Chains A and B, each alone.
Chain A
Amino acid sequence: MNVESKIMREILSATYTRIAISVLLGFAIGSVFMAVFNENVVATYETLFSNPGLTLQTAGQTIVDGYGALFKGSIINLSADNPVSMFRPITETLRLAAPLIMAGLGVALGFRVGLFNVGGTGQLVMGLLGATWVSTRMELPYGLHMVLALVVAIAFSMGTGALVGFLKARTGAHEVIVTIMMNYIALDLFTWFLRTPGLLLEEGGGGNPKSDPPALTAQLPRLLGDEFKLNIGILQALVAALVYWWLMERSTIGYRFRMVGHNSNAARAAGISVERTYVWAMAASAAFIGIAAANQGLGETGGLTSSIQANIGFDAITVALLGGSRAGGVVIAGLVFGAFKAGSPSMQIIGVSPEVLGIIQALIVLFIAAPPLIRAVFHLPKPEAK
């Protein structure tokens, strides 16, 4: 049997016990980082041996405060005096989770076909290029404008992804290297477009590479009125997840995708063109990332800079791994990491660096993606061989 697909299957069939342990362990180690380097705790180190209780107490307080701030910033703010600021955190979580879910689905699709799409950034940026062009350089009626921008974003991303698939199928070049190179090329190209007058540079803009704000007719409509920034992106993400589920679990093309992912030799023997499947799979993977690109480009009310890509293409890898490449799992993983993003500012305010969430995020996924690690540490039994 193909070893790689065996490993992928092991990751996919992560048991709930192991997921729970991974999450707990991630937060536990994160707490250690949070406490050990906190200013208040560091101040007690002088009396560490004479009064260890003080250090422990301060450390405990720091951890409680830190996660408290995370909760307050991402779920519900109980100390707020009006309902808008009370419920804003959860809407921010949903808003920030949307692009992570969409892009996560794209990377997940790649994993199911045995392709590692590290090129989320490049595909996202090319999608942004298309979406920004439509949203700032064209005049169309309300609704149609947004739809066209979305379609163009998907098309641009798909094209970029298909090119990777084509290079892999035609020349055998490894998709990881190709996509990493495409990331840089796309970023440079996008910056050049943003920098050049007449292309995407804002009207009467200064020297900084920045576009006009997307036209009002192209911006994503807001869901809960102007009080909240939440837009229809989260609904798009849920629809995308449904499409992904149907595509992968119910459609013929998804069956073909999975077959190539399980064992490309068997698929070839069964008469499937593995090469063509790679091209389509990379295009489909990038299409989901294109939806995320439109979400980033049309969800803003100000001008765009290249930082609008917000590292979503890379975060999508951890989302897909945490979600086990399943539609439902990716949605949950996207929500979790969206909550991390939403809660960061309130952690910053109380003096806990929100970067600790990056550590927790990486650790959780590391433990889940490396089943033997957790198994070795906790002496869990190996799943029965089938």
Chain B
Amino acid sequence: MTKTEVTPGMFSLSEVRPSWKTPSVLALFSGIVLVLFGFLGKPGDVTYNLSNKGDIFSVPDVVVASTFANVVLGTLMLLGAVYSAWLTIREKHTPMWVSLVAGLLGATGLLGWLAAGNVVPVSFILGSAVVLAVPIILGALGGLMSERVGVVNIAIEGQLLTGAFMAAVVGTITQNLWFGLIAAMISSAILSMALASLAVKYLVDQIIIGVLINVLVIGITNFLYSQWLASSGEEANFPGTFDIIAIPYLSGLPIIGPALFEARITVYLTFILVPLVWFILFRTKLGLRARAVGEHPTAADTVGINVGRTRFWWVTLGGAIAGLGGAALTIGNVGAFGREMAGGLGFIALAVVILGRWQPFYVSAAALLFGFAIILRVWANGVSPGIPTDFITMVPYLVTLIAVAGFAGKVKAPAASGQPYIKG
């Protein structure tokens, strides 16, 4: 018999004492921006390029000394840290937006430091970060949906790979990218059904089964790639990508216009899915039931919710969304399938679920952090050679590590996550 322990304070943030972790982390990062990038920064002006030619509202470029910009940004971040500390003293929680704004300021400062004496193409970087974040966001949404009902989904990597592979192959063979997209979602959903039934019905350890599904999918796609796609790329692995759609008026906005509203359909689908999943989870009866199953399956069962069925379908639907994320890798970005092209994004998505506290909007923000880090590494090599980009790539993982260690005391994970439910 399993016994689900209900931790006091699980359902309400206000019962948990705020910790000093948020203000400390904020202070650390503002210190880095203020001192390393600001006072000890690199000489030279930096140009923040805010709008493209032909935008409806043309905004002039901002040109400032790199050190001055970082001193200002660092000071603003420090104010955020002080505000957070003040809230903590008064035993209140720091709202999420403070961390988000501080992160945004820090990112701007980092860009200004890297590009001292150079130009920062803000829209380009933001747009690339979004495109790179989309597979992570969708993978994490899938992971979030299954964790919310109490099934740990380590197999996101496998789901992304399946989606990427099927989208490329079906898209090429049928000459229709929409079929590719649907095939990606269906195949990934079927894979998730395997995960769900083994975990829910047969009570196999969820983490072990997830890892093995990853290994299996990596094996199968690697094999098919080298035995089939590599030699007949034209017939099987040449799908092309969806067209870029510019949304009228919105795409003319400065900064965010070209970044967010001149994109492929996969990006727009993500914009729709994130609030949709949030709405269903937190504003509908369906979502309430799902969360009940994830928090306290015994109680949910008692009031007549079918725990097994709920888990099965949420994991499956989550898989379909993760499959869409895989499709975004191939027909939504690169245009062909490559060996192990998910390259660990599934594991990043797993971390993003936790970093984003199992909440779709925060999860998307956390995924953007990783997307930003990926594009930054590429771009930083160009503008500022010799910068140890390894450390830039490391930052999101470190942040996740700090966050996981920091959140853990607050019991924010769905309480029954990872535990099989045996009716009895």
Contact = CB atoms under 8 A, between A and B. Distances in A.
A112 interface: no
A369 interface: yes
Interface string B378-406: 00000000001011011001101100111
A180 B222 CA distance: 22
B3 to A, nearest CB: 10
A7 B203 contact: yes
B424 to A, nearest CB: 12
B215 A365 contact: yes
Given A7-B203, A37-B228, A361-B219, A116 B404 contact: no
B231 A3 contact: no
Contacts of B231: 39
Interface residues of B, number: 49
B227 interface: yes
A194 to B, nearest CB: 10
B207 A116 contact: yes
Nearest to A359: B219
Interface string A176-197: 1110111011001101100110
A358 B404 contact: no
A125 interface: no
A333 to B, nearest CB: 14
A355 B221 CA distance: 9
A64 B286 CA distance: 53
Contacts of B6: none
A276 interface: no
B351 A180 contact: yes
Contact of A369 (B212, B224, B225): B212
A195 to B, nearest CB: 7
Contact of A192 (B391, B406, B408): B391
A173 B227 contact: no
Q: Taking each of B218, B390, B409, B419, which has the highest tally of chain A beta carbons within 10 Å of its own beta carbon?
A: B390
Contacts of B97: none
B211 A180 contact: no
B202 A171 contact: no
Interface string A299-317: 0000000000000001001
B354 interface: yes
A372 interface: yes
Contact of B422 (A3, A4, A39, A172): A3
B220 interface: yes
B223 A177 contact: no
Interface in A292-350: 314, 317-318, 321
Contact of A4 (B205, B228, B406, B409): B205
B198 A363 contact: no
B420 interface: yes
A358 B400 contact: no
Contacts of B405: 167, 170-171, 173, 178
B28 interface: no
A263 to B, nearest CB: 13
Contacts of B344: 184
A358 B219 contact: yes
Contacts of B397: 181, 184-185, 188
Contacts of B211: 118, 317
A366 interface: yes
A362 interface: yes
A359 B388 contact: no
A3 B390 contact: no
A3 B420 contact: yes
Given A4-B205, A171-B409, A181 B219 contact: no
B216 A116 contact: no
Interface in B340-397: 344, 347, 350-351, 354, 388, 390-391, 393-394, 397
10 contacts: A3-B203, A7-B204, A167-B401, A167-B405, A180-B350, A188-B394, A189-B390, A196-B388, A355-B227, A366-B216
Given A3-B419, A7-B203, A362-B218, 9 more contacts: A33-B220, A173-B404, A173-B405, A180-B350, A188-B390, A362-B216, A369-B209, A370-B202, A373-B202
9 interchain residue pairs of minimum CB distance: A358-B219, A372-B202, A355-B223, A362-B216, A192-B390, A359-B219, A353-B227, A355-B222, A172-B408
Interface of B: 1-2, 154, 198, 202-205, 207-209, 211-213, 215-216, 218-220, 222-228, 231, 344, 347, 350-351, 354, 388, 390-391, 393-394, 397-398, 400-401, 404-406, 408-409, 419-420, 422
Interface of A: 1, 3-4, 7-8, 11, 33, 37-39, 116, 118, 167, 170-174, 176-178, 180-182, 184-185, 188-189, 191-192, 195-196, 314, 317-318, 321, 352-353, 355-356, 358-359, 361-363, 365-366, 369-373, 376
